[in-house]
Amino acid sequence: MSERSALSAEQEEFRDQVARFVEAEITPNATAWDRDDGDHPYPVHLFGRLGELGWLGVGFPESIGGSGGSPVERCVLFEELARGSAGVALGIYVHTSLAVAALATVAERGLAERFIPSLLAGELTGAWAYAEPDSGADVTQVRLSARRDGANFVLSGSKMYITNATFADLILVVVRTSGEPGRLAGLSVLAVDGQSEGLSRTPMAKLGMRPSELAELHFDDCAVPADRLVGELDNGFRRCLTVLSQGRVFAGALALGLGRAALEAAVVHVATREQFGAPLAAKQAVRMTIAEMTARLRGVRELVYSTAAKLGRGEDYDTDASIAKLVSSETATWVSERCLHLHGASGYMLDSPAQRFYRDCKVNEWGEGANELQREMIFAAVAKGYRP
Ligand SMILES: Cc1cc2nc3c(=O)[nH]c(=O)nc-3n(C[C@H](O)[C@H](O)[C@H](O)COP(=O)(O)OP(=O)(O)OC[C@H]3O[C@@H](n4cnc5c(N)ncnc54)[C@H](O)[C@@H]3O)c2cc1C
C-alpha cells in the first residue's frame, strides 16, 4: 500500500503534477536561490506561473476567484513545493494562506472582490505584517498606530520580519486603532499598497529560508484610504485568528515537505557513501536512524492530512492543527539535524542541500504561533476533555 493512500486518485494526480513542476522549475535552482549574495532575489515569476496553473487558488472557492478544491489539495501543494525549496514555499504560503486567506475570511465583499482574483492569478503579490519589535509570540503587543484622519487612516510605527514585504504589491498590516498594548480589542487590519507614500522597507538578512525575502517596514505618517479596512474596526485582527489557526495546517504540510527532502537526501547519501569497505547503510546504527526518520515523518503525514480533511469537512480542527504544527515543525528540525549528521563534512559545505534543510527548518517552530503556545492550547483543550 502506498504511503499516500489517504488521498483520492485526483489528489494523487495533483501531487504528481506539482512534483513534476517542482522537479523541473524549483529543485534545480534551489541551491542558487539559497545564496544570500544579493544576486538571487525571490523568484517572483513563480507567482505568475502558479497563478496560470490555477495552483495559487487551490483551496479557495471558485466564487471568489479560486480554483476550488479543499485544504487537502493546498497541503499537497505546500508539501511538494517545500520538498523542492522551503524558502520558495514560504513566500507562496504567506501570499495565499495568510494574505489572501485574511481577505477571503474577514474583508468586506467589495475589498475582497477588488484584490483576491488578481492575487490568486499571481498578477499581484501579497504579504501579511503582524510582527513588531515588541510583538512576537504575544500578539496583543502590537503598537503600530493607525489614527483616523478624514478619509484615511494615518500609520506611524514599524513592523519586522515581514516575508515578501520587499516586493509585495499589497500588505495586510495589523494596526492598533484604539486601546493600549496588552489587548486584542483595538487591533484592526488594513490592506496597504506596497508603494504607499510614507512606507519604506529595509531588507533583513537571515539564517535560513533564504529564497524568501524579509523586510522591516517603517510607516512615517503613511496615509491609507479608510476603505482598505479589512473587516471590522478594532476587531479585524481577532477575526483573523481563524486564518492563523488554519495556517498551522498548511505550515505543517510545509514542514512535512522539508522533512521529506531531508530524509530522501539522507537515504541517497548513506547508500552511496562508503566507509570501512561498505556503504554507510551497512551499519545498523545508520539503518535505525533512517527508519526512525521515516517513522516520524509518516506520523506527521497522518496528522497533517487528517487535520486538513477535518478542516475541509467543517469539523472542529483547532487542537489538531496545534498538534500538527507542533509535531511537524519539531520533526522537521530533528530529521534535518539527522540528515546533516549522516552527511558528515560533505553536508556541512554550502553547496550541500543538507545544510540548507538544517537552516530552513527552525523557523517553523515559531511561525504561526510559538510551539510553547501550541502546547498551552493543547493543554487547555485536554483540560476541557479533548482526547487524542
Ligand atoms: C523567516 C521568518 C519569516 C517571518 N515572516 C513573517 C511574516 O511574514 N509576517 C509576520 O508578521 N511575522 C513574520 N515573522 C515573525 C514571526 O511572526 C515571529 O518570529 C513570531 O511571531 C515569534 O516572535 P519572535 O520571533 O519575536 O519570538 P518571541 O516571541 O520573542 O519568542 C522568543 C522565544 O520565546 C519562546 N516563547 C514565546 N512565548 C512563550 C511562552 N508563552 N512560553 C514559553 N516560551 C515562549 C519562543 O518559542 C521563542 O523560543 C517571520 C520570522 C522569520 C524568522
| pLDDT number for residue 3 | 52
Whole-number Cα distances in Å, 44 to 126, 228, 310: 11, 25, 32
Any atom of ligand 1 within 6 Å of the Cβ of 163? yes
pLDDT-derived band at 5 (thresholds 50, 70, 90) equals low
pLDDT in tens, 123-175: 999 999 999 999 999 999 999 999 999 999 999 999 999 999 999 999 999 99
Q: Which residue has a Cα nearest atom 21 of ligand 1? A: 136
Q: How far is the CA of 364 from the centre of ligand 1 (A)?
A: 9
Q: What is the mean pLDDT of residues 261-273?
A: 98
Q: How far apart are CA 58 and CA 208, in angstroms?
A: 27
pLDDT-derived band at 35 (thresholds 50, 70, 90) equals confident
Q: In this structure, which long-range contacts are made by residues 265-274, counting pairs with CB atoms below 8 Å and at least 24 apart in sequence?
A: 265/339, 265/343, 265/353, 265/354, 265/357, 266/290, 266/293, 266/338, 266/339, 266/342, 266/343, 266/354, 269/342, 269/343, 269/346, 269/347, 269/354, 270/342, 273/344, 273/346
Q: How far is the CA of 345 from the centre of ligand 1 (A)?
A: 31
pLDDT in tens, 80-124: 999 999 999 999 999 999 999 999 999 999 999 999 999 999 999
Instruction: Supply the pTM of this predicted model.
Output: 0.97
Any atom of ligand 1 within 6 Å of the Cβ of 377? no
Computed over every residue of the chain, the mean pLDDT equals 96
Atom of ligand 1 lying closest to residue 376 CA: 41
Residue whose cell numbers read 483543550: 381
Q: What percent of the chain has a predicted confidence (pLDDT) above 90?
A: 97
Q: What is the mean pLDDT of residues 310-334?
A: 98
Q: How far is the CA of 143 from the centre of ligand 1 (A)?
A: 16
pLDDT-derived band at 308 (thresholds 50, 70, 90) equals very high
Q: Would the pLDDT of 260 be above 90?
A: yes
pLDDT in tens, 180-201: 999 999 999 999 999 999 999 9
Any atom of ligand 1 within 6 Å of the Cβ of 317? no
Q: Which residue has a Cα nearest atom 47 of ligand 1? A: 370
Write down all domains in the chain, each with its CATH number in brackets. 9-124 (1.10.540.10), 127-234 (2.40.110.10), 237-383 (1.20.140.10)
300 close to 253: Cβ distance less than 8 angstroms: no
258 close to 252: Cβ distance less than 8 angstroms: no
Q: How far is the CA of 123 from the centre of ligand 1 (A)?
A: 30
CA angle 355, 357, 359 (to 5 degrees): 70
Any atom of ligand 1 within 6 Å of the Cβ of 13? no
Any atom of ligand 1 within 6 Å of the Cβ of 364? no
153 close to 222: Cβ distance less than 8 angstroms: no
| pLDDT number for residue 98 | 98
Any atom of ligand 1 within 6 Å of the Cβ of 88? no
Q: How far apart are CA 301 and CA 314, in angstroms?
A: 20
Q: How far is CA 294 from the centre of its chain?
A: 23
Q: Would the pLDDT of 2 be above 60?
A: no
SS3 sequence, the chain?
CCCCCCCCHHHHHHHHHHHHHHHHHCHHHHHHHHCCCCCCCCCCHHHHHHHHCCCCCECECHHHCCCECCHHHHHHHHHHHHHHCHHHHHHHHHHHHHHHHHHHHHCCHHHHHHHHHHHHHCCCCEEEECCECCECCCHHHCCCEEEEECCEEEEEEEEEEEECCCCCCEEEEEEECCCCCCCCCCEEEEEEECCCCCEEEEEECCCCCCCCCEEEEEEEEEEEEHHHECCCCCCHHHHHHHHHHHHHHHHHHHHHHHHHHHHHHHHHHHHHCEECCEEHHHCHHHHHHHHHHHHHHHHHHHHHHHHHHHHHHCCCCHHHHHHHHHHHHHHHHHHHHHHHHHHCHHHHCCCCHHHHHHHHCHHHHCCCCCHHHHHHHHHHHHHCCCCC
Q: Would the pLDDT of 7 be above 70?
A: yes
Comparing CA positions, the residue from 82, 85, 96 lying closest to residue 256 is: 82
Q: What is the mean pLDDT of residues 291-306?
A: 98
Mutate to test the pocket of ligand 1, among 161, 192, 217 (most ligand atoms within 8 A of CB): 161
Q: What is the mean pLDDT of residues 345-356?
A: 97
Any atom of ligand 1 within 6 Å of the Cβ of 372? yes
pLDDT in tens, 9-34: 999 999 999 999 999 999 999 999 99
6 vs 307, residue with greater confidence: 307
Q: How far is the CA of 136 from the centre of ligand 1 (A)?
A: 5
Mutate to test the pocket of ligand 1, among 254, 366, 379 (most ligand atoms within 8 A of CB): 366
Q: How far is the CA of 363 from the centre of ligand 1 (A)?
A: 8
pLDDT-derived band at 40 (thresholds 50, 70, 90) equals confident
Q: Would the pLDDT of 4 be above 80?
A: no
Q: How far apart are CA 59 and CA 332, in angstroms?
A: 24
Q: What is the mean pLDDT of residues 365-384?
A: 97
Q: Which residue has a Cα nearest atom 25 of ligand 1? A: 136
| pLDDT number for residue 1 | 38
Q: Would the pLDDT of 204 be above 90?
A: yes
| pLDDT number for residue 46 | 98
